Amino acid sequence: MSLNKIAGPLLGILLAGCMLLMLVHPSSSLDAALRGLAVWWDVLFPSLFPFFVISEIMLGFGIVHLFGALLDPLMRPLFNIPGSGGFVAAMGYVSGYPVGAKLTAKLREQGMISKVEGERLVAFTTSSDPIFLLGAVSVGFFHDASLGLILALAHYGGGFIVGLLMSFHGRSRPGDSGTALSTPAAPSSAAPSGPSYGRLRTAMSAMAEARRKDGRSLGELLRNAIQSSLQLIIVVGGLVVFFNVLMELLARAGIMSMLFSTTGRLLSLAGFPPGLSAALVSGLFEVTLGARSAGEAAAGIPLQFKVAAAAFILSWGGLSVHAQVASILNGTGLRYLPFMAARLVHALLSAGLVLLLWKPVVSSGLAGQWGALPVASGLASPDSALISSLSLLCLLLACMLVLSLLMLLAGRLRRF
């Protein structure tokens, strides 16, 4: 019997079991749903919705096409994706999951990336945002702002390595065709004022052409951006509520306790503290609950293992985020399996980087110096979250543009 034939009845049985548990524990199910709804309304809606709308408007105005032409010399050699992927990476890293997946789906729908390029892109642009990592996890769960530095290095460094690894994904596949709307080629070396002038002129032309093809007025573009963003944020909220209720039902049925016990034994065999089993199992389903459990783990567990568990959970993202990404990618032709594999690799890399960098970063005092910087407190403050995120986005894009220009100039120098 094939897997598809088994999956349908099995899913039906599981859903029927969940319905039965909801009838047995109605009060607990309602409380869990309200907790999930509170997380969506208080945290996810204000942090994600503005970026959903902004990204839609920037696509309509052709700004993504502008950055695509400018960042192509950087993104092609490193990650084997078009330059427009650089904008997606910056937005995904600043605003967190699932913004990277949303923008990747949009690029795929507009024919700016191929199927394999989309799978490469979404695999390493799905990450936690700095506000959650520095504010909620470091300060809120671990009560130590200095841990933000090593968490950021491990999480975003692991994402960068995943991006490099994913550049080899699909290279040997015959169907890996180029993009339907390819990024404009680099200008000729005969451009009158050097490569930077020619590249900028090409980028401006790409933006103007994209704006002309879109053709919507500002009012229509804004209305469509708000409509599509509201639809997506409601889907995100529904999935958050569903997984909160699911975890509560599994706990009531005793399944979570069994998972805790099994995971604890596996951790003990591998030489890790078994007390982190609750954090890892919770993080398997939902990233916020898992990271909080890592911060609240027993005091006898060494701090570096708690932070490594938190890094693992942040990079894995939780099945709630996986479901959000899968719903966004539905209909684009992009497969979920490469994304899941990349999340697992990212999680293992992040946890390993925490343990590897612990002594040089934390023991040397670098982490303490980071915690005292104004930028660290600014990113960790929820009051200035949107302004800090937009400032960080501008800074990331500026750095990427400088690196792209340097790589373009280096390529020209090698030809002489």
DSSP string, 304-317: HHHHHHHHHHHHH-
pLDDT at position 412 is 75
Report which residue type is found at 293: S
| Global confidence as pTM | 0.86
Please give the single-letter amino acid code of residue 90: A
End-to-end CA distance of the chain: 62
Cβ-based neighbour number of residue 108 at 10 Å:
24
Residue 382 per-residue DSSP state: G
Show pLDDT as tens, one digit a residue, over the chain (416 residues). Answer: 455 667 677 777 877 888 888 888 889 899 999 998 998 888 788 878 888 898 889 888 988 888 888 898 899 999 999 999 999 999 989 888 888 999 999 999 888 899 999 999 999 999 998 888 887 888 888 988 888 889 999 999 999 999 999 999 987 765 454 444 444 444 433 344 455 567 788 888 888 988 888 888 888 999 999 999 999 999 989 988 998 999 999 998 889 999 999 999 999 998 899 999 999 999 999 998 899 899 998 888 999 999 999 999 999 999 999 999 999 998 889 999 999 999 999 999 999 999 999 988 877 766 666 655 555 555 555 556 667 777 778 888 888 888 888 888 887 777 76
Three-class SS state of 213: helix
Residues 6+ apart with CB under 8 A from 344: 316
Pair 124, 79: CB distance under 8 Å = yes
Question: CA-to-CA distance for 155 and 311, rounded, in angstroms?
Answer: 6
Tokens of 174: 């015959």
Give me the sign of the Cα torsion angle 399, 44, 375, 127: negative
Q: Which residues of 89-101 are buried (b: 16+ CB within 10 A; e: fewer)?
A: bbbbbbbbbbbbb
Residue 192 has a pLDDT of 43
Q: How far apart are CA 377 and CA 33, in angstroms?
A: 32
What does the pLDDT read at residue 214? 85
DSSP string of 137-179, one letter each residue: IIIIISS-TTHHHHHHHHHHHHHHHHHHHHTTTTTT-TT----
Residue-level pLDDT at 155: 95
**Residues whose CB falls within 8 Å of the CB of residue 203, separated by 6 or more in sequence, listed in order:** 65, 66, 67, 68, 69, 70, 184
Q: Name the token pair of 251.
A: 């706990």
| Residues whose CB falls within 8 Å of the CB of residue 304, separated by 6 or more in sequence, listed in order | 354, 355, 358, 362
Alpha-carbon span 23 to 14, nearest angstrom: 14
Sign of CA dihedral 378, 380, 381, 387: positive
